[in-house]
Amino acid sequence: MDNQELSDFLAHIDSCPECKEELTIQFLVKVGMQRLEDGNTFNLSSELENLLNDSKKKLSARRYLVLISFGLEVAVAAMLAVCLLLLVAL
């Protein structure tokens, strides 16, 4: 998902108990069945919460990187403008 889709999804899951329940059920079925087949122990409800929290952290990091990228682009554009002005002045 891109940043906007992930943000919308996480916001919806946080605010819609029906969708959160459906996500939990789907996660329990998909991951739980595999864990049972593998014979692993698990706590799927806390695992799902951890995955959602990790997604929120990754989204925050992505947004930070986008801001840094924008800042760098502005800085490069400003340096190019200064270089052009210096060349024209010569």
pLDDT in tens, 33-77: 888 777 776 778 788 999 999 999 999 999 999 999 999 999 999
Instruction: Retrieve residue 45's tokens.
Output: 């409800």
Q: Is residue 83 a part of any domain in this protein?
A: no
Q: Is residue 69 a part of any domain in this protein?
A: no
pTM here? 0.67
Determine the structural domain holding residue 57 and report its residue range. 3-64
Cα-to-chain-centroid distance, residue 86: 42
Q: Is residue 79 a part of any domain in this protein?
A: no
User: Are the beta carbons of 24 and 43 closer than 8 angstroms?
Assistant: no
Q: What span, in angstroms and rounded, lies between the C-alpha atoms of 25 and 55?
A: 19
The total number of residues shown for the chain amounts to 90
pLDDT digits (tens, 9 = 90+) for 42-52: 778 788 999 99
Question: How many domains does the chain contain in total?
Answer: 1
| Contact partners, residue 59, CB within 8 Å, separation at least 6 | 3, 6, 7, 10
Q: What span, in angstroms and rounded, lies between the C-alpha atoms of 3 and 72?
A: 20
DSSP state of 40: -
Q: Is residue 34 a part of any domain in this protein?
A: yes
Q: What span, in angstroms and rounded, lies between the C-alpha atoms of 51 and 72?
A: 31
Q: Is residue 26 a part of any domain in this protein?
A: yes
Q: Is residue 58 a part of any domain in this protein?
A: yes
Q: Is residue 41 a part of any domain in this protein?
A: yes
